[in-house]
Amino acid sequence: EIVMTQSPATLSVSPGERATLSCRASQSVSTNLAWYQQKPGQAPRLLVYGASTRATGVPARFSGSGSGTEFTLTISSLQSEDFAVYYCQQSNNWPVTFGQGTKVEIK
Amino acid sequence: QITLKESGPTLVKPTQTLTLTCTFSGFSLTTSGVGVAWIRQPPGKALEWIAFIYWNDDKRYSPSLQNRVTITKDISKNQVVLTMTNVDPVDTATYYCARRLLVRGQVLDPWGQGTLVTVSS
């Protein structure tokens, strides 16, 4: 099973600042990596798939990069609605696995 | 518009069998490449994938749960059903269903709102 490790666990950022979230896979997942956003009491929402393709309707301030074992989700200028938990997910190998999440909180 | 909605019991006793239904609209499980997944999330914890079912009736299960779960589909009702036997309090979680996006890999979009299931005597 591929283990996905996200860092940091919590990221404190001021509105308007840049946030950089990391996701590391225990073995290569090529670019079969997706990012999801989850707000309290809500279902996850797809942000990025294929490591760098934004999902429909996702603002351009969200960008994904990486391949192999190292991935990054960058939020260029945090808006109030971006404070949430972010999960990465690999689907290069079965079973599909998620990271433990990074909580982006207001500094 | 694609929507999915989970339904089922909110409280189940230990050792019982849990049956959850995902009712969807806006797509068909007869279309090539389409799949529906179940994912769960214990309170305050991370997401855990449970199972996938595809348009051709191919099924995939999490190794940690495969001995206790079964996923099936009812095309006529636009439903996917997850059955979990011998539940335990550690199975307490919000259970989500989600559609597989028709791109490379198992990308999930959109998700249902989720249903909280508590396992307790």
Q: Read out DSSP for B22-35?
A: EEEESS-TTSTT-E
Averaged pLDDT, A87-102: 97
How high is the pLDDT of residue A14?
95
Q: Which of A45, A50, A100 sits opposite B46 (nearest CB)?
A: A100
For residues B68 and B96, what is the distance between their CA atoms, to the nearest angstrom? 17
Statement: residue B104 has pLDDT above 90: no
DSSP secondary structure, B49-108, as one string = EEEEEETT--EEE-TTTTTTEEEEEEGGGTEEEEEE-S--GGG-EEEEEEEEPSSSS--E
- Given CB atoms, is B109 within the 8 Å cutoff of chain A? yes
**What average pLDDT is seen over chain B?**
97
Q: CB B60 to CB A94 under 8 A? A: yes
Q: CB B108 to CB A44 under 8 A? A: yes
**Displacement of CA A73 from its chain's centroid (Å):** 5
Query: At B121, is the pLDDT very low, low, confident or very high (cuts 50, 70, 90)?
Result: very high
Q: Which of B46, B105, B114 sits opposite A91 (nearest CB)?
A: B105
Averaged pLDDT, B8-35: 96
Q: CB B101 to CB A44 under 8 A? A: no
Instruction: Please name which of B23, B28, B26 lies closest in space to residue B6, comparing C-alpha atoms.
Output: B23
CB-CB neighbors (< 8 A) of B37 in chain A: 96
- Rounded to a whole number of angstroms, the CA Rg of chain B reads 14
Q: Which of A43, A87, A101 sits opposite B112 (nearest CB)?
A: A43
Determine the longest span between alpha carbons in chain A, in angstroms. 38
How high is the pLDDT of residue A74?
98
Statement: residue B68 has pLDDT above 90: yes
Averaged pLDDT, A60-70: 98
How high is the pLDDT of residue B102?
86
Instruction: Please name which of B44, B48, B42, B52 lies closest in space to residue B22, comparing C-alpha atoms.
Output: B52
How high is the pLDDT of residue B69?
98
For residues A53 and B13, what is the distance between their CA atoms, to the nearest angstrom? 43
Query: At B94, is the pLDDT very low, low, confident or very high (cuts 50, 70, 90)?
Result: very high
**Non-local CB neighbours of B61 within 8 Å, separated by 6+ positions:** A95, B50, B51, B69, B71
Statement: residue A57 has pLDDT above 90: yes
For residues B54 and B32, what is the distance between their CA atoms, to the nearest angstrom? 8
Chain B CA closest to residue A35 = B107
CB-CB neighbors (< 8 A) of B49 in chain A: 89, 95-98
Averaged pLDDT, A86-95: 97
Query: At B103, is the pLDDT very low, low, confident or very high (cuts 50, 70, 90)?
Result: confident
Q: Are B40 and B93 in contact (CB under 8 A)?
A: yes
Q: CB B105 to CB A50 under 8 A? A: yes
For residues A104 and A13, what is the distance between their CA atoms, to the nearest angstrom? 7
Can you tell me whether residue B11 is helix, strand or coil?
strand
Q: Which two tokens stand for residue B54?
A: 């595809």
Chain A CA closest to residue B96 = A43
Reported as half-sphere exposure (CB side, CA atoms, 13 A), residue B15 has a value of 1
